[in-house]
Structure 1
Amino acid sequence: MTPVNAMFGEVTAERRIAAAPLSHVSVELGHLYMEDFEAGPDRLRRLFRRVAPWAGALRSAWEERMPGRQARVSTCFLVDDYFSRFSSPAESLPMVLDTAAECDLSIDYIARESACAEPAGLVEDRLVDDPPPGANGSRPPVKETGWLCNGMRSPQAGAAVQAMGKAQRWAPPAQNAKRGHSIFVDVELWDESGQRRTWSCPFLAAVWQLLRLGLLRDEGRLPLRPVPRPPAWPADWDALPPIVRLNEQAPPFTAYTTMSVLPSRFLPVELAVRTILSQVAVDAEVLRQVAGRSEGEGIRLAEELVDRISYVFT
């Protein structure tokens, strides 16, 4: 008989988690839709003029926080090519970069929103239901419905009840961790038509935040990595890499914290983003990895993921 030499070991001991390079903060300088580009450089110029003072103030704040050391501040810009296809990278991106430069803003990375759809399934797999007190399991899980909320939905008055049961009366929705009064949020994560799933804007924005924080892994690997700027911008969005590094000397795309400077129309979207992220279970080993590195730099990170994310709404 042929001898069998078997080796046994714990899976966790063999697991390898890729480390993400980390800036101190990733600053999002814009997130624009088709109508913003169609409005031309004047609208972009107004946007960047509002953004520039905040980006400068944040950079100064981190430089003061890191005396004697260089603050690693990277900047990024997100283009919506998921919900609508417009123009082309060859026509649109030079306008963005030139207008930003006019306003003394330097963009280190450009990303496509459709790139966030690629690792969206990784985030879906890590959603953890947050049932309200007294829940009886009658509400289907988020992975079945595509809807996520931060508490108890209002029951449907007049819904069918069991024989001899009491008719259900209307009751207000309730937030799980309310302070005084409830702020109830119910977010659609995706919809489906046949075999096609369309991710919602808040869900893609939640993926975008996790990518910037360097907290997503696909079997231990980083799902997306920035690539150098191509020699020429392509004529089709699908030909553009998901994340493009414009500045070879730029600090890393991923960072301990994020700041997004956005028009006020994004406020409800970002409220939904924070609701989603509060119910995402990030890999514990990835969290330990990032925490160890931040402590080594003397930076204390917030325990709650959403507290590592900040905004300025203009």
Structure 2
Amino acid sequence: MMEPVFREETADPRTEALALSHLSLELGHLYMEDFAAGRERLRAHFEEVRPWADAARAAAVRTHGRRTRVSTCFLVDDYFSRLSSPERLLPMLCEEAEAAGVRIDYLARESGCARAGELEPARAVEGRLVESPPPGSDGSRPPAAESGWLSNGQRGPSAHDGEAAEAMRGAPPVWAPPSETGARQHSVFLDVELWSEEKKGERLWSCPFLAGVWQLLRLGMLRHDGAAVLRAQDLADLGGAFPADWDALPPLLRLSPRAHPFAAYRTFSVLPTRFLPVEHAVRVLLGQVHVEAQVRAQVEKRAGGEGLVLPPELPDRAHYAFALEP
């Protein structure tokens, strides 16, 4: 006779399964100065975005069939500046998107990538960074959690590195080039600033780092104690109107009640060309983030059940179109 086994309820924390779309389609990420430029600037943005968004949607349908699940999202920068209020800016944003034939399913605040209620997604991602020491590294560079910098290889030594040792030997300092880990013939070395210190010890997260958190959220790869980090709230829950204060706006707002799930197997972002270096940094970050094994297995199992094979590396699940500035 088999004896019953009793366990603490918290001994095996459950990993919440997220509903997933096939594609998360980002329709833009604008700064407050873009909003300050007025309706014409927003209309030009969405008119430029539309053909790229249509092409991405059509490609997804060719791959997944008529029942393809595509959700759209838009990220508003309320982290680095707040020139106006949601009740003034967001209706204008939605109206100009609709006028250009573009539908926004989810509206997200960039500050929600730093803090969402009691949770701090940025801190969680920082704690999951797993740096890959490049060949030949001597351990002299402090880890990213201490320095606030993350690279995709080995930085070339400067004249000050080992200056004292060279002076003792009487030899001039020797320059050496930086090198990219896994470079193909030639290196494209990148060193990414993750955060800086503000007053009173508060961190100011960098745009590339928050953009990396944003991609991880869209790919459904972040959990807190097994639970989802962001939960979309419906605009109807706010009485159908945007609040006067940014802090009263949910980190993730669902504008369309019939929208497919926010998170997806893959992401596609239509962005101005000025974001090209930012997204290069995002790919470096995605390649050095440890995702919980249960989360990875859960997403891959669900994908397999739909006949999908996902790229094993997270950077290969994020895709882009860098459109020209209007």
Give distance in 2, aligned partners of 1:245 and 1:120.
22
- Give the letter for the 1:116 counterpart: C
Q: Which amino acid aligns with 1:20?
A: L
- TM superposition shift of 1:66: 2.2
Partner of 2:100: 103
Asked if residue 227 in structure 1 is aligned to residue 233 in structure 2, the reply is yes
Assess, with a 3 A threshold, how the Cα gap between structure 1 residues 154 and 243 changes in structure 2: closer, same or farther.
Answer: same
Which residue of 225, 244, 260 maps to 2:269?
260
| Amino acid in structure 2 at the alignment position of 1:109 | Y
Question: 2:256 aligned with 1:247, yes or no?
Answer: yes
The residue aligned with 1:178 is 183
Tell whether the 8 Å contact from 1:155 to 1:168 is kept in structure 2 after alignment: no
1 CA distance for matches of 2:172 and 2:299?
Answer: 51
- Once the two structures are TM-superposed, the CA of residue 8 in structure 1 deviates from its matched residue by 7.4
Change (3 A) 1:13 1:196: closer
Post-superposition CA distance 1:186-208 (Å, at most 9, x none): 00000013411000000000000
Out of 15, 18, 21, the position equivalent to 1:20 is 18
Structure 1: which 5+ residue stretches go unaligned?
1-6
**Equivalent residue runs for 1:97-246 within 5 Å:** 97-118=94-115, 119-159=121-161, 160-162=163-165, 164-165=168-169, 168-193=173-198, 194-229=200-235, 230-231=238-239, 232-246=241-255
How far did 1:94 drift? 0.6
1:281 paired with 2:300, answer no
d(CA) in 1 for partners of 2:69, 2:310: 15
Aligned to 1:49: 47
Q: Which residue of structure 2 lines up, in the alignment, with residue 4 of structure 1?
A: none
Counterpart-to-counterpart distance in 1, 2:193 and 2:131: 14
> Any idea what the Cα deviations from partners look like across 1:68-117, whole Å, max 9, x if unmatched?
x5110000000000000111110000101000001111100000000000
Question: Which SS does the other structure have where 1:260 is aligned?
Answer: strand
TM-score (structure 1 length as normaliser): 0.94
Q: 1:87 aligns with which of 79, 84, 88?
A: 84
What is the CA RMSD across the aligned residues, in angstroms? 1.7
Q: Distance in 1 between matches of 2:269 and 2:314?
A: 15
TM-score (norm 2): 0.91
Query: Out of 33, 38, 50, which is 1:35 matched to?
Result: 33
Q: Deviation of residue 233 (structure 1)?
A: 0.9
Q: State the alpha-carbon separation in 2 of the partners of residues 276 and 76 from structure 1.
A: 21
The question of whether the paired residues in 2 share the 8 Å contact of 1:63 and 1:71 is answered with yes
Taking only the aligned residue pairs, the percentage that are identical comes to 57
> Which residue number in structure 2 is paired with residue 3 of structure 1?
none
SS of corresponding position for 1:14: coil
SS of the residue 1:252 aligns to: coil
C-alpha distance in structure 2 between counterparts of 1:145 and 1:107, whole Å: 38
**Aligned partners of 1:161 and 1:168 also within 8 Å:** no
Q: Could you tell me which residue of structure 1 aligns to residue 118 of structure 2?
A: none
